[in-house]
């Protein structure tokens, strides 16, 4: 019998051996074998494929991390999933698995700041050239493609300015030119969109965010298809990227309520957006809520829901008043990350290093909100009192 994804979230990764609703937390470095032949046989099983019950050495993981790998692979419709200590290390693993000296990589200009750093600065030391494209203009991507292009790296939407792209168009171009594609899908999660089903080779999630949902863990996942599986497996092995069984367990716990939390984040965020769009001090809301816009249409085309992260665009000649607005908020913590139960806010201009400088202008300010699971009326009242500070 086929079950819905909502049901799968509740039943995957049960502890069959312990007859528990959850898998056991297995912490290990050494794994014992009865004979040398048994150890060698297990190494062959691991080398052969992506499905196995345990590793031959604790550095590679334990039954707990395997349970999470299999869980996320099921959600992603992936050939396999690799776990890393942070979301950004999953980005690094994806890129370093396939890019070699002389290659070129094309990256969305709206990309996460550390991803910009590893592509434009770190890879440069290894003779890998990076081109950035405008996420709102497909032609700028198309114009960068050449015989040396090895990868197109997409972040959809951009985690500060939230541009939504026509993903199928990118995939069609990449397949025609035999270019590997990767997407940072942290905002949408594999619950709202299936990048590998669309045709991407790699799908990245910072499990620190919505997959965990409780702001108490750092972990990343890289889900792949058969096309890149061996390359990623080899790179993962030699780099030694690993996540702890305790962190894996916390993400497994969070995944049980992923559907409920995401729908609630979406519901509350819509109420916040409806309030904000009436406020004159806010010039633009960077969120897919306005029908007929390119962002809305591309979001609607590929996603089954929207999450709780967005930005607002404020025009003010007084930067300090915008900072006072941020600082005055009582229910919004000032802090990095997002995807947890609590609401957050950040003044983001310092992170807007861009080639296509749509938002980097004098007196233009970007403030990013993560909408948590508080009472929306309380959040609205808090923002309302804070907006009085903007001049």
Q: What domains are defined for the chain? A: 5-255 (3.40.640.10), 258-387 (3.90.1150.10)
Side-chain half-sphere CA neighbours of 353 within 13 A: 10
pLDDT, position 374: 98
Question: For the segment 70-129, what is each residue's pLDDT rounded down to a tens digit?
Answer: 999 999 999 999 999 999 999 999 999 999 999 999 999 999 999 999 999 999 999 999
Q: pTM higher than 0.85 for the full model? A: yes
Question: In the predicted model, is pLDDT for residue 356 greater than 70?
Answer: yes
The confidence score (pLDDT) of residue 32 equals 87
What's the token pair of residue 267? 């519901």
Q: In the predicted model, is pLDDT for residue 134 greater than 80?
A: yes
DSSP of 30-93, one letter per residue? ----SSHHHHHHHHHHHHH-S--S--SSGGG--HHHHHHHHHHHHHHT-SEEEEESSHHHHHHH
Question: How far is the C-alpha of 366 from the C-alpha of 376, rounded, in Å?
Answer: 22
CA 103 to chain centre: 25
- Per-residue pLDDT tens over the stretch 181-202: 999 999 999 999 999 999 999 9
* Residue 37 CA from chain centroid, whole number: 41
Tokens of 249: 């367990």
d(CA 193, CA 100): 30
Give, in order, the Cα–Cα distances in Å from 283 to each of 161, 274, 293: 14, 14, 16
* CB contact at 8 A, 367 and 346: yes
Greater confidence, 48 or 309?
Answer: 309
What per-residue confidence (pLDDT) applies to 152?
98
Q: Which of 342, 325, 323 is nearest to 384 (CA)?
A: 325
Q: In this predicted structure, what is the pLDDT of residue 234?
A: 94
What pLDDT is stored for residue 305 in this prediction? 97
Rounded mean pLDDT of the chain? 93
Residue 68 pLDDT level (bands cut at 50, 70, 90): very high
Per-residue pLDDT, 45: 85
The pLDDT of residue 236: 93
The number of beta carbons lying within 10 Å of the beta carbon of residue 144 is 17
Q: Which one has a higher pLDDT value, 353 or 380?
A: 380
**Beta bridge mates, 149:** 104
pLDDT over 70 at 235, yes or no:
yes
pLDDT reported for residue 72: 97
Radius of gyration of the chain (CA): 22
pLDDT over 70 (residue 50): no
Element (H, E) at 283: strand 282-286
Q: Would you say residue 332 has pLDDT above 80?
A: yes
Find how far residue 191's CA is from the centre of its chain: 12
pLDDT higher than threshold 80 for residue 49: no
Tell me which residue has tokens 């959040």.
Answer: 379
E-only strand ranges, 89-247: 104-108, 129-133, 149-155, 180-184, 202-206, 220-224
Between 19-23, 194-198, 266-270, 331-335, the lowest mean confidence (pLDDT) is in 19-23
pLDDT tier at 349, thresholds 50, 70, 90:
confident
217 near 232, Cβ under 8 Å?
Answer: no
Pairing label, strands 333-334, 344-347: parallel
Spatial separation of the C-alpha atoms in residues 189 and 203, rounded to whole Å = 10
């Amino acid at each position: 019998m086929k079950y819905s994804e909502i049901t799968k979230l509740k039943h995957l990764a049960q502890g069959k051996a312990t007859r528990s609703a959850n898998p056991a937390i297995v912490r290990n470095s050494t794994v014992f074998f009865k004979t040398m032949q048994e150890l060698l046989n297990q190494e062959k099983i691991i080398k052969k494929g992506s499905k196995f019950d345990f590793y031959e050495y604790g550095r590679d993981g334990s039954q707990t991390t395997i349970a999470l790998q299999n869980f996320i692979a099921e959600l992603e419709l992936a050939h396999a999933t690799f776990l890393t200590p942070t979301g950004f290390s999953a980005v690094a693993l994806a890129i370093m698995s396939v890019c070699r000296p002389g290659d070129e990589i094309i990256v969305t200009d709206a990309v996460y700041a550390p991803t910009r750093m590893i592509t434009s600065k770190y890879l440069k030391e290894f003779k890998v050239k990076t081109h950035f494209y405008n996420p709102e203009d497909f032609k700028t991507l198309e114009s960068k493609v050449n015989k040396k292009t090895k990868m197109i790296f997409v972040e959809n939407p951009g985690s500060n300015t939230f541009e939504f792209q026509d993903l199928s168009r990118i995939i069609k171009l990449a397949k025609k030119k035999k270019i590997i594609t990767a997407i940072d899908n942290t905002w949408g999660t594999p619950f709202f969109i299936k990048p590998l089903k669309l045709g991407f080779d790699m799908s990245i999630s910072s499990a620190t965010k919505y997959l965990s949902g409780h702001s108490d863990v750092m972990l990343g996942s890289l889900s792949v298809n058969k096309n890149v599986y061996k390359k990623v497996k080899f790179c993962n092995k030699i780099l030694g990227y690993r996540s702890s069984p305790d962190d894996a367990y916390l993400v497994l716990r969070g995944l049980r309520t992923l559907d409920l939390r995401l729908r609630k984040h979406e519901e509350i965020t819509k109420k916040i957006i409806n309030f904000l769009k009436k406020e004159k001090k806010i010039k633009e809301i960077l969120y897919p809520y306005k029908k007929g816009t390119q962002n809305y249409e591309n979001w609607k085309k590929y996603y089954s829901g929207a999450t709780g992260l967005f930005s607002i665009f404020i025009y003010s000649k007084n930067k300090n008043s915008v900072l006072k607005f941020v600082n005055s908020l009582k229910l919004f913590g000032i802090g990095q990350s997002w995807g947890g139960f609590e609401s957050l806010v950040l003044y983001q201009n310092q992170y807007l290093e861009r080639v296509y400088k749509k938002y980097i202008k004098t007196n233009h300010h970007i403030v990013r909100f993560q909408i948590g699971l508080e009472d929306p009326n309380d959040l609205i009242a808090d923002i309302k009192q804070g907006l009085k500070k903007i001049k």
